[in-house]
Amino acid sequence: MHVLQEVLFIIVLLVAVGLFARKIREISRNIRLGKDEPLKGDKARRWKNLFFYALGQKKLFRYPVVGILHFFIYVGFIIINLEILEIVLDGILGTHRLFAPLLGGLYPILINAFEVLAVLVLVSCVIFLIRRNVLRVKRLNTSDLKGWPREDANIILVTEIVLMTLFLTLNACDTLLQQRGYGHYATYLTGNFWISSHIQSLLGGLSSPILEGLERGCWWLHIIGVLAFLNYLPYSKHFHIILGFPNTFYAPLDPPGEMENMPAVQQEVKYVFQPELAPAGATPPSRFGAKDIFDLSRHQLLMAYSCTECGRCSAACPANQTGKKLSPRKIMMDTRDRMEEVGAIIKAKGSFEDDGRTLLHNYITPEELRACTTCNACVQECPVSISPLSIILELRRALVMEESNAPAEWNAMFSNIENNFAPWKFSPEDRGRWAEGV
């Protein structure tokens, strides 16, 4: 490879990796805006969850066809990236197909496997595009996905198709040039590959210099496409490719139906009834529940960045399915958007300055929060172990306990519980009257 190409490649690589690292730092800072909570439970169970739910994609296989297609894209994405290692090393060292002489007979076997995967990825992406845009699967075409989120999914699918096509064309040009004994291509022989050999008949009429130009063009476009894809990921729902793993690991291990107690409330009640227990100078908690992202836990913020926007949660949500305003997918998307908004302020001003906006009200309305039945269907359905319910509960707690913002019927029930220790408006002294004369 010409030395100028080598220098250019190294510059492109450094810029791409540098930009990616900068965005990752920003996202990590945004997640750390949340409250740091101790990790509870057995680590071995966490690793097991990571293995089955993130690596093994267990929940996706509940819908076998979609599960298998998604698995092809996922495995293809991971394994074909091994081939990127050769491209990157070739780019830096100025070599061409560095691994061919090193791996000998194993090399064509690997490339053949990559080509088969490339075709499977290609076919899966085309089917997913058809599902989204032609068959218009309902959960992928609801109003909470309007605009950018819908484009985002299409952009990624089309990019994958382009990358796989470039990979196959590159191989076809390369092997044709080897067969013709052209230039440095003649110094190694990989033999024909299973899939790209079928493209050769389309390219066979081209002259060798044009084929070389096409091979170089595909090589550059492929690696620039991969680096662009890398930098696009953190802005896209496809960031779940990376964050799905830590998110599954950190997911709570408690039974999903077990509602988490609020120690701050328990403590306040305890101090009211037994003031002597309150330590000197004890101050009440700054807030009950969550009004903004700062009140949520780091794991809840990580969940928002890990959401794939697949909509399985909303499709299973009884509130959403009966026409209420609530969409658990939107809860996660709103949380992420608010984090990005806060992150942009920190980036511009060096630290967060109150912008008069909060996750509660400016993004998520009381109407949405009140529609939740706490049934846990969204948690059960989520393929990457996200709990929209945990965020809904925290916001609803702030709504009720901080703002006393609840429908009149709820307020009547709250005051009955406070005064009568039961939801009904009967005095506790009368509780046993039903048994009179029995």
Residues that bind ligand SF4 (CB under 6 A): 307-313, 316-319, 326, 328-329, 332, 372-378, 381-382, 384, 386, 388-389, 392
Q: From the CB of 162, what's the least distance to ligand SF4, in Å?
A: 25
Q: From the CB of 136, what's the least distance to ligand SF4, in Å?
A: 17
Q: From the CB of 400, what's the least distance to ligand SF4, in Å?
A: 16
For ligand SF4, the closer of residues 214 and 313 by Cβ is 313
For ligand SF4, the closer of residues 289 and 328 by Cβ is 328
Query: Radius of gyration over alpha carbons of the chain, in Å?
Result: 28
Phi-psi region for residue 276, left (φ > 0), alpha (ψ -120 to 50) or beta? Answer: alpha
Long-range contact list for 376-381, CB < 8 A, 24+ apart?
Answer: 376/256, 376/257, 377/313, 377/316, 377/317, 377/318, 378/313, 378/314, 378/316, 378/317, 378/328, 379/256, 379/313, 380/256, 380/316, 381/59, 381/312, 381/313, 381/315, 381/316
For ligand SF4, the closer of residues 150 and 216 by Cβ is 150
Q: From the CB of 184, what's the least distance to ligand SF4, in Å?
A: 47
Q: From the CB of 330, what's the least distance to ligand SF4, in Å?
A: 9
For ligand SF4, the closer of residues 226 and 389 by Cβ is 389
Sign of CA dihedral 343, 346, 351, 353: negative
Q: From the CB of 380, what's the least distance to ligand SF4, in Å?
A: 8
For ligand SF4, the closer of residues 28 and 373 by Cβ is 373
Q: From the CB of 331, what's the least distance to ligand SF4, in Å?
A: 7
Q: Which amino acid is at 425?
A: K
Q: From the CB of 238, what's the least distance to ligand SF4, in Å?
A: 12
